[in-house]
Structure 1
Amino acid sequence: MSLQEFSLLLVSVIISVAGQFFLKMGAIKLGKVQLGNIFSLIVNMITIPELLLGLACYGIGAIAYILLLTRVNLSVAAPAVSVGYIFSVLLGYFILKEPIPFIRLVGLSFIVTGVILVVWRK
């Protein structure tokens, strides 16, 4: 994977992770969904800026991913975007104060190792 391709991958992943973060922040504002309030909450979704921003980030991330797919094999690009999991866990830990159990760290290390093996060129 060239530096340009890696940069495009990183842009796609970071923007998509930002989308996940904003969707979570919007979901916190939205509150818990119960059977009785599901329709009103769905209508309220369009009034929460974080949800709209999260969806916009997902859209921009998808465009960057499509551009990446014009340059890189799917068998490399699809597993490589899993590095987004690492960024999501870090955002959860540092900003949302979510704990990271040891077993999750082990799982993340497997993801990192797998991505390195997938994108490695001999």
Structure 2
Amino acid sequence: MSILSSVAGQFFLKAGALRLGKATPTNALSHIFNIATTPELIAGLMCYGLGAIAYILLLTRVKLSIAGPSIALVYIFTVLMGYFFFKEAIPPTRVVGLGFIIGGVLLVMWQR
């Protein structure tokens, strides 16, 4: 639940950022104020809050040395979300990096 909430938060934050438009030195302050009135950004922050609550509850049941690295799976889902929803490219080097993340998480979670 924590991972899914974080991924949803990333999605809404990106959608809200696109709605705000590109930040520049001249409009940065107004962008900061507009965050409070952009529904996608509010939804993204709420998702992050729910993710944090879910993570705290997870930590009552699972070792931190397992739960912490497992959160790295958010990277996998956000890259895929960027590709499918925001038409972002996934270069070969990123695919290799994602493979290392998946392999690392599997090694950390592996129990004999």
Q: Which interval holds the TM-score relative to the shorter structure?
A: over 0.9
Corresponding letter in the other structure for 1:103: T
Q: Is it true that 1:60 corresponds to 2:50 in the alignment?
A: yes
Moved more, 32-41 or 78-87: 32-41
Identity within the alignment, %:
60
Instruction: Provide the C-alpha distance between the structure 2 equivalents of 1:34 and 1:106, rounded to a whole number of angstroms.
Output: 33
Deviations 1:41-83 (A, max 9, x none): 1111111100000000000000000011111111111111101
Q: Is it true that 1:77 corresponds to 2:58 in the alignment?
A: no
Q: Is it true that 1:12 corresponds to 2:5 in the alignment?
A: no
For the aligned residues, what is the CA RMSD? 0.7
Of 2, 5, 12 in structure 2, the residue corresponding to residue 22 of structure 1 is: 12
Instruction: Provide the C-alpha distance between the structure 1 equivalents of 2:69 and 2:7, rounded to a whole number of angstroms.
Output: 15
Deviation at 1:88, TM superposition (A): 0.2
Q: Is it true that 1:37 corresponds to 2:27 in the alignment?
A: yes
Instruction: Provide the C-alpha distance between the structure 2 equivalents of 1:90 and 1:44, rounded to a whole number of angstroms.
Output: 28
Moved more, 50-59 or 34-43: 34-43
Instruction: Provide the C-alpha distance between the structure 2 equivalents of 1:76 and 1:39, rounded to a whole number of angstroms.
Output: 40
Structure 1 outlier segments of 4+, above 3 Å: none
Q: TM-score, normalised by structure 1?
A: 0.89
Q: Which runs of 5+ in 2 are unaligned?
A: none
Corresponding letter in the other structure for 1:16: S
Instruction: Tell me the number of residue pairs that the alignment of Structure 1 and Structure 2 aligns.
Output: 112
Of 89, 97, 117 in structure 1, the residue corresponding to residue 107 of structure 2 is: 117
Deviations 1:5-55 (A, max 9, x none): xxxxxx110110110110000000111111111111111111110000000
Moved more, 83-92 or 31-40: 31-40
Q: TM-score, normalised by structure 2?
A: 0.97
